[in-house]
Amino acid sequence: MSPLLRIQRLSVSYGRIAALRDVSLTIEPKTIVSIIGANGAGKSTLLNAISGLLKYQGVIELEGHPLPRTPHDIVRCGVVQVPEGRRVFSSLTVEENLLIGAYTVRNQRARRDGLAQAYQLFPVLESRCDQRAGTLSGGEQQMLALGRGLMSRPKLLLLDEPSLGLAPMLVTDVFSLLDRINQQGVTILLVEQNARKALAIADHAYVLETGRLVAEGPGPELLEDPVIRKAYLGAVEA
Strand partners, 60: 7
Do 63 and 1 contact (CB within 8 A), yes or no?
A: no
Residue 107 has what pLDDT?
Answer: 84
Q: Residue 209: which residues within 8 A CB-CB, separation 6 or more?
A: 37, 38, 41
Per-residue pLDDT of 137-148, as tens digits, reads 988 998 999 999
Amino acid 139: pLDDT: 87
Confidence of residue 7 (pLDDT cuts 50, 70, 90): very high
Q: Domain locations in the chain?
A: 1-78+154-238, 87-152
- Cα separation of 236 and 230, whole Å? 5
* pLDDT band, very low/low/confident/very high, at 71 (cuts 50, 70, 90): very high
Q: What is the pLDDT of residues 22-38, one digit of tens each?
A: 999 999 999 999 999 99
Mean pLDDT, all residues of the chain: 92
Question: Is 45's pLDDT higher than 60?
Answer: yes
Q: Which CATH class is domain 1-78+154-238?
A: alpha beta
